[in-house]
Structure 1
Amino acid sequence: MHKDPPLSKVFYRPIEAAIRWAGLLRYKAVILTSIASPRCLPQMLDCPRWNECRLYSERIYDGILNSELPFGRNGITLNDPALVSSPDLTVRHVDLKRWMCTHYPEHRPGFLFSRSERMAHPFITMETGQALLVERLALKSALEQSKRQLRELQEKHDALLKQSTAIPACTQCAISDRAEATYLNIIGGMLELMLGQSPAGTPYSSLKTQEAVVNALVAHHRGVMGIAERTLNGKFATARRRLHSVTL
């Protein structure tokens, strides 16, 4: 019965550590049978993330050659330069973990670090930090814009409240029947003129229908009291009826 190799050991050969670092432990047998030397790994291999595995192996040897990572044979630290090219070269688990914390703190592979260690000591790379800073600045800008919009809305709200308190005072001065009739006649006359033609057949304006007049008024004076489609249509209809009744 085939038994999977253990994830963590007391010591590793560099290629064994690189395989675990790249998360390729299940491909260990394929990789080991495909390489002739642990120092000269093939450029291509039918294995996922092989380039990462090669890179991690090179990093381990780089640490050894630069006296950053203690090494030896069979887990015994010797630091003998003659072992660098030996297939028996090993690095201890504790030394590899310490070296990785110092030189590659953004990496916390499962064979060296427990789940609690990976969660308790998250590492933020420079790229991640820069991205978070840009996001923070964008959120700050959006917040300032929202504050400005809120102030503008508050000012409009206060203005509308003042306007609403002034309206009842105006409604107390009821318009007389004579004044209303005068206004309606003027409105009806102006509307008929706008929609009419000269004796030569030339339109007095480019607006052809009452609907066009209403739409133009609403488009140019939206928000003004009384300038609304329903109100205008009602007033125009009343004005035209009154004007026609007077001229008949």
Structure 2
Amino acid sequence: MITIRSSYHPIDVAILWCDLSEHEDEILQVDLLQPGSLRKHFPQWPNLHNYVECIYDAILSGELPATYLGQPITSDSHLHRVYYSIRRTDLLIWFVRSLPDQRPAFLFAQNADHSGCVSLNAHLAKQAELDYALRSLERLQQTFASTADEMAALSTLNDKLKARLESLGVPSETSEAMQNRLIGAMLETTLGKNQNGKQQSIYSSQAALVQAILLRFPGVDGLSKSTIDRRFADARRLIAQVKRG
């Protein structure tokens, strides 16, 4: 009967892999620190040596995680590699990834029906996708937080600029619209005709009124002809919209 263990030494894996559990005591009596000792003492079981070397190669290449006396493997521990320890889970994953055609009985149930189960490869692939999605979500959350901070800073700056403009007397859109209504109403009253059709102003037209303003206030900032014409046009257009409802 195969006993499930949580970890194995490389020689343990090779013995179980070769199905030589009945000869375990005999095999372990050999000095495994001597290179080629397994091939020398057990020529009848060539795979025993081959499998051990295969495991060592996988460990040293980083394909198969292992430890030495509970610590990470270093160059100093290579002389005592027979004492490497491999977790059952890591060993199982290594077989699935690197030796998919091998199914040692001590790791894999031989007669179990796995038709309704998710394969380890599929599980690992899904796990990798999930890890990537979580990392992407974390990056998006960081980007969102940074953008939110920038928007908050811009909103604060906008409030400060509004307050600054108000303190300087710069009209807002609302106050400018009110000014245009007032200007438009004054133009309609000044340049318009009364109920009897009589001209109410000494100025015969808007152009004459503009000319009079320029003559009375020469060189005043904001009272150039182009500025006055534009403001008057905006004001008359707005008051016409108000009259139409």
Q: Normalized against structure 2, the TM-score is what?
A: 0.41
Q: Normalized against structure 1, the TM-score is what?
A: 0.41
Q: Which has the larger radius of gyration?
A: 2
